[in-house]
Amino acid sequence: MNEQEALWQGQFGDQYLDRNIVDPVLRQPFWNLIANSTGAATALEVGCSRGHNLLALKAAGVRTAIGIDINERAVWESRAKGLLVMRGNALMAALFGPAFDLVFTVGVLIHISPEEIHSSMAAIAAGSKRFVLSVEYEADHETEVEYRGQKLALWKRSYGMMYRQRGFKVVDFGDLKKEDGFDDCRYWLMERT
């Protein structure tokens, strides 16, 4: 277990859950757009937290929406909502092989260290038959940002470019705001070439 995983598995991760209450109704239009754009019947979210994005995808017509999260409490809260969620990190996505139409992260890649980001993104890509989606903070160059008093806990990067280097092309991208139910961030919907 690395330093970031230990951070999110423990009290810091539980405090995140307490602070971040998501209104899935605000996010529903975005997930409707993603479901319609991809036609995905199956999806895997890496870092699913309480499962609010998975519930929205299911409401948008995605038949099978499964999650992975490193925080035990997040896993149990998701399961209490009837979701299939496993405890683990991003590397688990590769264990499925290319099994999902869509594999995605929302505010997760930003918390993966420079030493682990390439293997994590490779595992996410390996789990996808066709599409990957990243909803993350963006920067042209990797930039570390102190997060709630923690160093080595958040990095902004150009995730779309990083997936392009893995053989994906950009299908759609844009900015999401508070009124969309997200922090100010960028999304990249990528398709395997």
Distance CA 103, CA 121 (A): 10
Look up residue 45 and give its amino acid: E
**Band of residue 1 on the pLDDT scale cut at 50, 70, 90:** confident
Distance CA 189, CA 43 (A): 13
CATH architecture of the domain with range 3-18+27-138+159-168: 3-Layer(aba) Sandwich (3.40)
Instruction: Give percent of the chain with pLDDT exceeding 90.
Output: 98
User: β-strand 42-46 against 64-69: which pairing, if any?
Assistant: parallel
Pseudo-torsion of CA 130, 86, 109, 114, nearest 10°?
A: -110
Query: Is this structure's pTM higher than 0.85?
Result: yes
Please report, for the chain, the start and end positions of each structural domain, with discontinuous segments joined by +: 3-18+27-138+159-168
pLDDT at position 24: 83
User: Of 106 and 23, which is predicted with more confidence?
Assistant: 106
Mention every residue, 6+ apart, whose C-beta is less than 8 A from residue 131: 38, 40, 101, 102, 103, 171, 189, 190, 191, 192
**Band of residue 176 on the pLDDT scale cut at 50, 70, 90:** very high
16, 8 contact by CB (below 8 A): yes
Residues 49-67, mean pLDDT to the nearest whole number = 97
Residues 124-145, mean pLDDT to the nearest whole number = 97
